[in-house]
Structure 1
Amino acid sequence: MTGRRARMRQYAVAVMATATATVATALTGVTPARAASVADYSFNDAGATLTDVRRITRDDVAAQRGYTGKGIGIALIDTGVAPVEGLTSGNVANGPDLSFESQVANLRWRDTYGHGTHMAGIIAGRDTGASGFKGMAPDAKLLSIKVGAANGAVDVTQVMAAVDWVVEHRDDDPRNPIRVLNLSYGTDGVSSWTKNPLSHAVQNAYRAGIAVVVSSGNTGGAITNPAFDPYVITVGATDMRGTTAYTDDQIASFTSVGAAPRVPDLYTPGRSIVSLRVPGSMADAGYPSARVGDRYFVGSGTSQATAVATGAAAVLLQRYPWLTPDSLKCTLRESGPYVGAATSGGRMIDLDRATAKLPTLCKLVGPQSTGTGSIQEARGTSIVSLDGVPLVGERDIFGPLRSATWAAASTAHRSWQGGEWMGRPMTGTGWAGTQYGQANWAARQWSGTNWAARAWSDIDWDDATWTNRGWSNTLVNGVPWGARTWSGVSWQHASGGAWMK
């Protein structure tokens, strides 16, 4: 047992041994109802700012009590985080870049899509200036692990590798151990979660004490993989209908609501959320009408809702650091009302109540994934391809991969050895310094490794060079990737209206 886990266990035992009477005494006279001083109001048609979102979720009241996510590490597996204003004050670091763009020095770690930066702003953004921009957990430590390319393309095995890396490195920063993992990603792979490799990866994180927060999907129907796994916190989106009162909220039309017994655990704001923009990114170039001024961008989807829930989880973990992933889910779920006229399914979040009342302790008991199922079935139709050659079958981007072999190594926390995942040289072995206000993990070239009979070093990455100016006002020289684009996008922005209001 690691030192941190031993300390956590000792702390939890000590807290529970005093019974709830001690905590109840400390909370005597504190009502779980929302603070009377918080007034509801309408916001404008340009979208819900993070000030609006924090008010809707009562995150602003929790912050008044001193709960801002401090001491909590959050892993964001996404398309990278650009060092734009709001993400350069020292609470954001770049872990390994496992994306296809990791082989291009000027694109490494950077968010050429614009998705990950939007999520990071919602979760832990904070300005040092007078703008007052704040995410849900502005004092949490955010660690970005990039897996998605300029159009969001990523293979499911890259996501599995990223989750494994987070688990094995969760205690690297003892002051901010990773307690929450945000995964705004899903595939339509329908293999049972009891065998699904991606389910197995997130369950390993769960067993390591990391709460995995996953978007339900944006099809309006079935919940995606791995959100259908019962061990994760699955999040759907609400449409706030232009007010900060949750009495008029509705489930957003694009939200994958699933069917009993697997429905979203939580519903949080996900319609027209204003967060940080990456000028010149794929999303920015594709949806110019979604820009709000020079710095911000409006996005809709269960991705945005998941980021809200992730920040809320960090806030609650600062309040009750001994909560397990199960009890964290139950406490968040019990804090708010059902959406609209619903009387079952997921509920909304009220951090005023969650931080003022005793937490709800619970434990999920049941079967777990073996991880030995088909990798191809886990992909579903989310297939990446280059020059028309698809990546299919029981393999990753480097070659054949047996799920049973990987599952055993992942369970034992041995899938990573230095900078190699399952023997594949994917990244460096330590930190490579700080640039633009963000620390960066070292990179590694994939040259000499072939996929589809082509060496990675031979691939010509067209029109993908960043200019040399500062990131706060830098534009990309044209739309990234030019005519050479990785196909296959699985990031959970609202389908049919991605990034639009």
Structure 2
Amino acid sequence: MHVLDLRVGGRAAAAGAWLAAAALVLSALAAPAGAAGPAPVSMIVRADDAAAAARGIARLGGVVGARLAVVGGFLATVPAPAAGRVAGLPGVVAATRDGGVRFAGDDWSARTDPTSMYQVTRELGARQAWRAGVTGAGVGVALIDTGVVPVAGLTGAGKVVNGPDLSFESQSADHRYLDTFGHGTHLAGIIAGDDTAGRPAGTGRFAGVAPGAHLVSLKVGSHDGAADVSQVIAAIDWVVAHRDDQNLNIRVLNLSFGTDSDQDPRLDPLAFAVDAAWRHGIVVTTSAGNAGNDSRLTMPARHRRVLAVGALDTSASVGTGDARVAAFSATGAADRAVDVYAAGRSLVSLRDPGSFLDTRYPQAAVGGRFFRGSGTSQASAVVAGAAALLLQKRPELTPDQVKRILTTSADPVRGTVGRAVGARMLDVGEALAARVPARSAQAVPAATGLGTLEGARGTTHVVDPADGAVLTGEQDIFGHAWNPQVWAAAADDGRAWTDGAWNGSVWAGTGWTGTSWAGTSWGGTSWGGTSWGGTSWGGTSWGGTSWGGTSWGGTSWGGTSWGGTSWGGTSWGGTSWGGASWG
């Protein structure tokens, strides 16, 4: 789930003021001659009241240096023992040790942006784990979303493996597996992105929470984010059936998707699918929803077995420990609350050039190759990366043990009210140091999955914009009848997917190929002539929308955008990932 942060002013978007600093290098100030004890510390101070901030610096025994108009602040030199107090001075927005911070290439500094992945991973304790060799190496994280594109940070050998493309765009060879929407690529960067080039994981300019992990991408969403719940369930079943294929070692599944289903989670098919994945040894992280505090969690986050993740706002300043539950984040209702919170507001991750979100929201671009996004989607991705770190260190852990460790080692969130009271935020360092809990098995009522597919959709339905046909009722995207008894039994055993077939229809090819940009992918297949309710599709288009201009060629982007593309008026409207809207 995703709510874009489009503000360009104020503290939440203060990093926008840095964009004019092309190729600027800030050097540390020398210590005053004859100084005794620890050398004074040079700092970059951003301020919304420069006079008040300067007075505070003076009281600490510091000296204000050059004005830095481009960042809305100044350089300062302060006694080393007082350096930690600068950020809390009146008028100070953020204070960062200088130490050679650079603005090069794309005019943006991850070290001074409080919602950069550099700062997110630093605050979590993930960067310390990397130095100890815990990077998520060998752990596969399945990402069921809108696909992934090969932008820098996701092109390393073995970084991305494409499972089957189950989206409506799978019929176009130019767009199969690729993220035409922009959501999946952003999350992929948060989970396991890594700019490493022949260096240890996490030492590149950009790194996600688990830079050593590999991603298994299953595309279900199209260029407008459209995905039916049957596609999502099919993707989950594929992950369960193929978790050990090709050395995938899928131990984590991130599902930043949810519906407003009112079904009991014990009956809801989507909830049953994630329950089956969990019982087959896969930790499932799910987004809580973006309908605001005290709102009910979306499905499948409502299912008590999986990890329901809420979003924190950490955008105030670097290193102040002032995280709060984000205003847009669902916190839960009486029947189910969020399990753990993680950073989710204005997170800077990888940009998908020319995608729907990139085109629709240019204000969210950062410096060229990055993009800001907010939502419990992003928070869920952070927790998925944390789970991968934990499972590399302790591969013997069960999903219940992982959940117990991540939730009990989490830190209290200050200032919570309403359903957020008692909220706890992820702490990777504490989780990695925690003992394996003696008691971790969850007492969750047995699920049957015998509810309806239509009920699982809630109010969210895919619509063919060509003729307005709506997919409803007990049928999947191919119009094939849904039999809950037959499906639930197969899903429970991990055999709902056979080669390229699911629920009686052929959805994809029968095995692995080496033809995609990721090097290894699950073969595609043709859906020509397939229909539901009288509407059909085939060839290379969906809903009358065809792609033209630049396209993926080999392993690189052949241009800067999906040229010639028209969105045809399609948008989230009232149908979205979990009932929330973009904006």
TM-score scaled to structure 2, two decimals?
A: 0.75
- 2:459 aligned with 1:381, yes or no? yes
Cα distance in 2 for partners of 1:189, 1:150 equals 24
**SS across alignment from 2:245:** coil
Q: Secondary structure at the match of 2:262?
A: coil
> Residues 396 and 203 (structure 1 numbering): CA distance in 2 closer, same or farther, change over 3 Å?
same
Of 345, 351, 369, 2:447 maps to 369
Q: Which moved more, 1:225-234 or 1:52-61?
A: 52-61
Q: Determine if the alignment matches structure 1 residue 392 to structure 2 residue 442.
A: no
Q: Could you tell me how far apart the structure 1 residues matched to 2:549 and 2:192 are?
A: 25
Q: Which residue of 2 aligns with 1:426?
A: 507
Contact 2:210 2:389 in 1 (8 A): yes
CA distance in 1, matches of 2:209, 2:262: 33
Q: Deviations over 1:399-444 (max 9, x none)?
A: 2212222112211222212101011110011222144344322100
Give distance in 1, aligned partners of 2:415 and 2:298: 25
Aligned to 1:110, which of 174, 178, 184? 178
Alignment CA distance shift 1:484-1:235 (3 Å): closer
Counterpart selection for 1:74 from 138, 141, 145: 141
Task: After superposition, give the CA deviation of every residue in 1:111-157 in whole Å (9 maximum; x if it has no partner).
Answer: 00000000000000011358521111011111000000111100001
**Contact 1:53/1:244 (8 A) holds in 2:** no
Q: Residues 195, 275 of structure 1: CA spacing in aligned structure 2 closer, same or farther, 3 A cutoff? A: same
Residues 430 and 441 in structure 1, CA contact (< 8 A), matched pair in contact too: yes
Task: Determine helix, strand or coil for the equivalent of 2:299.
Answer: coil
Out of 437, 443, 446, which is 1:360 matched to? 437
- Spell out the pairing of 1:170-181 with structure 2 (5 A cutoff): 170-174=243-247, 176-181=248-253
Match of 1:238, SS state, is strand
**Cα pair 1:196 1:374 within 8 Å, conserved:** yes
State the shift of 1:244 in Å: 4.2
Letter in 2 for 1:152: G
Matches for 1:50-449 after TM superposition, within 5 Å: 50-90=117-157, 91-129=159-197, 132-174=205-247, 176-220=248-292, 221-245=295-319, 247-342=321-416, 345-361=422-438, 362-386=440-464, 387-399=467-479, 400-449=481-530
Report the Cα distance in structure 1 between the residues aligned to 2:95 and 2:325, rounded to whole angstroms. 18
Partners of 2:240 and 2:320 in 1: how far apart? 35
**TM-score in terms of structure 1 length:** 0.86
CA distance in structure 2 between the partners assigned to 1:381 and 1:494 by the alignment: 12
Alignment check: 8 A CA contact 1:183 1:213 kept: yes
Residue from 537, 547, 562 that aligns with 1:476: 562
CA contact (8 A) 1:76 1:142 kept: yes
User: Is the Cα contact below 8 Å between 1:153 and 1:487 reproduced in 2?
Assistant: no
Aligned-partner residue type, residue 125 of structure 1: G
CA contact (8 A) 1:97 1:443 kept: yes
Gaps of 5+ in 1: 1-38
Give the equivalent residue in structure 2 for 1:11. none
Distance 1:426 1:246, change over 3 A: farther
**Counterpart AA for 1:137:** A
Partner-residue secondary structure (3-state), 2:577: coil
Sort the Cα spacing of 1:113 and 1:488 in 2 relative to 1 into closer, same or farther, 3 A: farther
RMSD, aligned α-carbons? 2.4
Q: Aligned AA for 1:195?
A: L
1:147-198 Cα shifts (integer Å, max 9, x gaps): 0011110000110000000000001133x41110000000001100010000
Taking the TM superposition and a 5 Å limit, the aligned residue runs for 1:18-57 are 48-57=115-124
Residue 462 (1) aligns with residue 545 (2): yes
Q: Aligned with 1:247: secondary structure?
A: coil
Task: Assess if the C-alpha contact under 8 Å between 1:335 and 1:354 holds in 2.
Answer: yes
Partner of 2:577: 491
Q: Is the 8 A contact 1:47 1:272 kept in 2?
A: no
Match of 2:24 in 1: none
Going from structure 1 to structure 2, the CA distance change for 1:427 and 1:71 (only over 3 Å counts) comes to same
Uncovered stretches (5+) of structure 2, i.e. residues with no partner: 1-83, 88-93, 97-108, 198-202
Change (3 A) 1:333 1:112: same
SS of corresponding position for 2:520: strand
Letter in 1 for 2:456: A
Distance 2:273 2:549 in 1: 34
User: Identical aligned pairs, as a percentage?
Assistant: 47
Query: Which amino acid letter does the alignment assign opposite residue 465 of structure 1?
Result: G
Q: What's the offset of the Cα at 1:379?
A: 0.4
Verify the 8 A CA contact 2:114 2:314 in the aligned structure 1: no
Q: Distance in 2 between matches of 1:49 and 1:203?
A: 33
